[in-house]
A and B are shown apart, each in its own frame.
Chain A
Amino acid sequence: MTKLETKGIVKFFKHDSHNLMALGGVDLEVEDGDFVCLVGPSGCGKSTFLRIIAGLEKPDEGEVIFDGKPVTTTGPERIMVFQEGALFPWLKVQDNVEFGLKMAGIPKEKRSQISKRYLDMMQLTKFADSFTFQLSTGMKQRVAIARALVMDPDVLLMDEPFAALDAQTRDLLLVEMQLIWEKTKKTILFVTHNVAEAAVLGTKVAVFSNRPSKIKKQIPVNFKRPRLAEDENLTGLQQEILAELRPEVKKSQ
């Protein structure tokens, strides 16, 4: 079943005198439960694409169709996890995680019941009362993921969430991310510039072309899980992705 579809998404940005066409008609179809990894040259519009799906930005042309209906605004069924986490430093970890529930007017007791589950899942229970400045980068990203999962979205939109992590922490989270996906059955769109990350996580890898960007190639991934970053079976796939990506990166420079 198609969960999410984008049809001909075009986005311009004003740059001084001229209009920059960032997205040049992006078509993507995402099945329910898909884990789609999006790779592409830096600046090709991957973040913009996710923000458009989230409803945080309006496309100049094209539409986003969710469960068969076009969407134009933000909604709790499409939740983003930002590159830097964007956690609120004035809130404790638990209150960060409960933020969306609070905005929805859910009473305190109910909120802490729900958040407890996700704090457990992300191994954050010990840190529930910490402030974000007391957390490592990896912990912060866990909080960001928990904060998104609490909303129980159908689609998680993750924008390079592991880009700032050290290698060990990333490897750990790559495994956990697969478990979370299997456990929660979420549909995930995951932007990364790391080809190995895409190969480990995705059920499908979509490669963006250089600006004005389109989806150039979609590569299905069928290895069994949990996959590890150093898995030798994935090397061929990584080469395949790189072969698509490299010319686009060249053009972008």
Chain B
Amino acid sequence: MNKITLAKKIAFYIILVILWQTISMSDIWPNNIFPSPYEVGEDLAYMASDGSLFFGIGTTILRLIVGLAIAIAGGIVLGVLMARIETINQTIGSLVLGLQSIPSIAWVPLAILWFGLTDTGIIFVTAIGAMFAVTINTYTGIKNIDPHYVEAARNMGAKGTQLITSVLLPAAFPYMISGFKQGWAFAWRGVIGAELLFSFLGLGFLLNVGRQLNDVSQVIAIMLVIMLIGMAVDGFIFKKIENKVMSRWGLR
């Protein structure tokens, strides 16, 4: 990012906060409905000092990581099977497309009935919402591999699992990265949504507590945290990996 873009961004956020402060100081809405940035900051500081914020973040991130890991592992296996075995593609493949269209949050009732109000239930929702994006991108990636890679590899003696792990998956990686990124986005929405409805620890739970206490500034504070974590993961982790992959694979 160049300096001017950065300056524009900083200026924008400063203006946004000033505007927010001005509106909250005016008498349009009472403060318990529209708190000032200062109050939100105070709430954040309070939750940070008593540790509840970090415990919430930690819980949510842990669920996310476990759920996303399951989604990635399961998604890759399913995607490879679909790409390699036409019958699986024609049967399970069509179901995958259908399942992909179910919003993560719609799995919550089923997860509660199956697993109760447990971590397992939340992780289930997180994983199932993310998995099919990984599957579809892995499948597409393998189908789009330059056939010369596969021929060269076969010619040099690669076959079976070896061919999959040392050629098909790395060759499909640029697509798979998009799958992981989509998967992460679904998982992040899924885990927060599930925590809201399960109301069992985590950032989603803290949102719910804020609502029950009529504490608008806690709700906004937690939303800010959710947004910042999301931006950090997109902007740092995925952007870094994508840039590296794109240049190494000669795609830019």
Interface residues of A (CB under 8 A from B): 51, 54-56, 74, 76, 78-80, 82, 84, 86, 88-91, 99-100, 102-104, 131-133, 147, 151
Q: Is the CB of A89 within 8 A of B249?
A: yes
Nearest CB of chain B from residue A83's CB, rounded to whole Å: 8
Nearest CB of chain B from residue A72's CB, rounded to whole Å: 14
**Interface digits, B130-163 against A, CB 8 Å rule (1 contact, 0 not)?**
0000000000000000101101111111100010
- Tell yes or no: B8 within 8 A of A by CB: no
Closest 4 CB pairs of A and B: A100-B156, A86-B148, A90-B170, A103-B157
Q: Is the CB of B156 within 8 A of A56?
A: no
- Tell yes or no: B171 within 8 A of A by CB: yes
How long is the Cα–Cα vector from A13 to B93 in the complex, in angstroms? 29
Q: Is the CB of A80 within 8 A of B249?
A: no
Nearest CB of chain B from residue A54's CB, rounded to whole Å: 6
- Closest B residue to A55 using CB positions: B155
Q: Is the CB of B157 within 8 A of A133?
A: no
B146 contacts which chain A residues (CB < 8 A)?
86
A100 contacts which chain B residues (CB < 8 A)?
156-157
B155 contacts which chain A residues (CB < 8 A)?
54-56, 74, 78-80
- Tell yes or no: B3 within 8 A of A by CB: no
Nearest CB of chain B from residue A145's CB, rounded to whole Å: 13
- Closest A residue to B162 using CB positions: A103
Q: Is the CB of A99 within 8 A of B149?
A: no
Q: Is the CB of A56 within 8 A of B173?
A: no
- Tell yes or no: B80 within 8 A of A by CB: no
How long is the Cα–Cα vector from A84 to B170 in the complex, in angstroms? 19
Q: Is the CB of B152 within 8 A of A74?
A: no
Q: Is the CB of B154 within 8 A of A90?
A: no
- Tell yes or no: B166 within 8 A of A by CB: yes
How long is the Cα–Cα vector from A76 to B162 in the complex, in angstroms? 16
Size of B's binding interface in residues, CB under 8 A: 21
Q: Is the CB of B170 within 8 A of A88?
A: yes
Q: Is the CB of A51 within 8 A of B157?
A: no
A55 contacts which chain B residues (CB < 8 A)?
155
- Tell yes or no: B5 within 8 A of A by CB: no
In the complex, which of the residues B148, B149, B156, B170 contacts A103, with contact meaning CB atoms closer than 8 Å? B156
How long is the Cα–Cα vector from A76 to B173 in the complex, in angstroms? 27
- How many residue pairs between the two chains, A and B, have CB atoms under 8 Å in the bound complex? 61
How long is the Cα–Cα vector from A104 to B152 in the complex, in angstroms? 14
- Tell yes or no: B235 within 8 A of A by CB: no
Q: Is the CB of B250 within 8 A of A132?
A: yes
- Tell yes or no: B167 within 8 A of A by CB: yes
How long is the Cα–Cα vector from A132 to B171 in the complex, in angstroms? 14
Nearest CB of chain B from residue A155's CB, rounded to whole Å: 12
Q: Which of A90, A131, A133, A151 gathers most chain B CB within 10 Å?
A: A90
How long is the Cα–Cα vector from A152 to B248 in the complex, in angstroms? 29
- Tell yes or no: B2 within 8 A of A by CB: no
Nearest CB of chain B from residue A42's CB, rounded to whole Å: 18
A76 contacts which chain B residues (CB < 8 A)?
156-157
B170 contacts which chain A residues (CB < 8 A)?
88, 90-91
B249 contacts which chain A residues (CB < 8 A)?
89-90, 133
A-B contact pairs, 17 of them (CB 8 A): A54-B155, A55-B155, A74-B155, A78-B155, A82-B148, A82-B151, A86-B146, A88-B167, A88-B170, A90-B170, A90-B173, A90-B248, A91-B170, A99-B153, A102-B166, A104-B157, A133-B250
Q: Is the CB of B248 within 8 A of A80?
A: no
Q: Is the CB of A151 within 8 A of B156?
A: yes
In the complex, which of the residues A84, A91, A99, A133 contacts B156, with contact meaning CB atoms closer than 8 Å? A99
B153 contacts which chain A residues (CB < 8 A)?
99, 103
How long is the Cα–Cα vector from A157 to B231 in the complex, in angstroms? 51
B26 contacts which chain A residues (CB < 8 A)?
none
Q: Which residues of chain B in 97-119 are interfacial with respect to chain A, using CB atoms and an 8 Å cutoff?
A: none
Q: Is the CB of B151 within 8 A of A56?
A: yes
- Tell yes or no: B91 within 8 A of A by CB: no
- Closest A residue to B252 using CB positions: A133
- Closest B residue to A54 using CB positions: B155
Q: Which residues of chain B in 160-207 are interfacial with respect to chain A, using CB atoms and an 8 Å cutoff?
A: 162, 166-167, 170-171, 173
How long is the Cα–Cα vector from A74 to B249 in the complex, in angstroms? 27
A91 contacts which chain B residues (CB < 8 A)?
170
A133 contacts which chain B residues (CB < 8 A)?
247-250
A102 contacts which chain B residues (CB < 8 A)?
166
How long is the Cα–Cα vector from A80 to B152 in the complex, in angstroms? 7
A79 contacts which chain B residues (CB < 8 A)?
155-156
Q: Which of B149, B152, B166 gathers most chain A CB within 10 Å?
A: B152
- Closest A residue to B152 using CB positions: A86
